[in-house]
Amino acid sequence: MAKTNIEFGTALRSPYDVAKLSRQIEDLGYDILGCGEHVSFYVDTANGLISLSVAAGATTSIKLMSTITLVPLYPAALLAKMGAALDVASGGRFSLGVGVGGEFANEFAACGVPVNERGARTDDALEVITRTWTGTDVSYDGRFTKLENFSLKPLPIQKPRPPIWVSGRSDAAMRRAAKYADGWLPYMYTPEQLAESIEKITAYGEDLGRDMSDFTFGMYIFTAVHEDNDTAVKYASDRLSLQYSQDFSKIVHKFALAGDPDKCQARLQEYVDAGATMVFVSTACPDDYIDTNLEMIAKTIMPAFRV
């Protein structure tokens, strides 16, 4: 197997013990530390920007990515400030992961945001973020945001701005990625779907007159690695069946990286061959195996994809 420079990321699995978990992930050699969020959800959830702020103070070099920020729930200028502040506080390690949400309507209602406006609000916010992260005295007359000679001080450390990653599955998300983002991070994708999305995003970018040569295509994938192949497959199938309230026993190999190290390496190579240069792994296994799973990935999978 030819080695390539693939970046690996993983997320904080809990809103608790953030500093300890962040150091653990950095010490294992992961390149990117992520954190998801909800305002309200079925289970305990974090706020990504808050938890990553704690992680910034607990770590020294690992990149920090919000995976994923529910962009339409924030006033655009406030989110721009929070992202810029986190980039400064972390010494230039922050990347903004973008999603529109909508699967839990209650949190949209609580924030006074109509669910059917989430896409338009996200695009408006990305326009604001792009302009205010790269310049000062910004004026903007958008559908949801009006700015007049508006400046963020200080601006982010990273130039021209911190990276923006778009997550999703729809054509609208792909168009959003091509217009505003530096990276694409889909989930529940097969290698074939990833390749198709790469082709679409590249075409959308070219239609916009954009050079897509420095765009990064990633993959968010549920993962369970165990020395015993059948055990790993059962771990992933059981966890995803519970999480998504459907039987994953027949489709676990389609959407998850599950099995012994050799099988997981071979399956991951299919995603790399499809065009992925960043892999964000999310644990799909029992709680008492999460630490071991992260170690297995770091020791038996990641080295095969690094020069």
Backbone angles phi, psi at 95, to 5 degrees: -125, 140
Helices (H), 14-117: 18-27, 48-58, 76-89, 105-110
The pLDDT assigned to 225 comes to 98
Nearest Cα to 232, choosing from 269, 255, 254, 263?
Answer: 263
CATH of 7-305, one of 3.40.50.1820, 3.30.420.40, 3.20.20.30, 3.40.50.720: 3.20.20.30
Q: Residue type at 176?
A: R
> What's the predicted TM-score (pTM) here?
0.96
Q: Which residue has the tokens 């004026």?
A: 139
The pLDDT assigned to 139 comes to 98
Above 80 in pLDDT, residue 119?
A: yes
Beta strands in the chain (DSSP E): 7-11, 32-35, 63-70, 94-99, 138-141, 146-150, 164-166, 183-184, 216-225, 256-259, 278-283
Structure confidence by residue, pLDDT tens digits, 170-215 = 999 999 999 999 999 999 999 999 999 999 999 999 999 999 999 9
Mean pLDDT over each residue of the chain, to the nearest integer: 96
* pLDDT-derived band at 290, boundaries 50, 70, 90: very high
Percent of the chain with pLDDT strictly greater than 90:
96
Structure confidence by residue, pLDDT tens digits, 137-175 = 999 999 999 999 999 999 999 999 999 999 999 999 999
Query: What average pLDDT does this structure show over 32-52?
Result: 95
Query: What average pLDDT does this structure show over 78-95?
Result: 98
- Reading the block at residue 196, the tokens are 């198709």
Structure confidence by residue, pLDDT tens digits, 241-272 = 998 889 999 999 999 999 999 999 999 999 99
Query: What average pLDDT does this structure show over 122-144?
Result: 98
Above 80 in pLDDT, residue 2?
A: no
Q: Which residue has the tokens 């699995």?
A: 13
Nearest Cα to 71, choosing from 51, 55, 48?
Answer: 48
The pLDDT assigned to 1 comes to 45
Q: Where are the domains of the chain?
A: 7-305
216 C-beta neighbours (distance < 10 Å), count:
16
Q: Which residues contact 203 (CB under 8 A, 6 or more apart)?
A: none
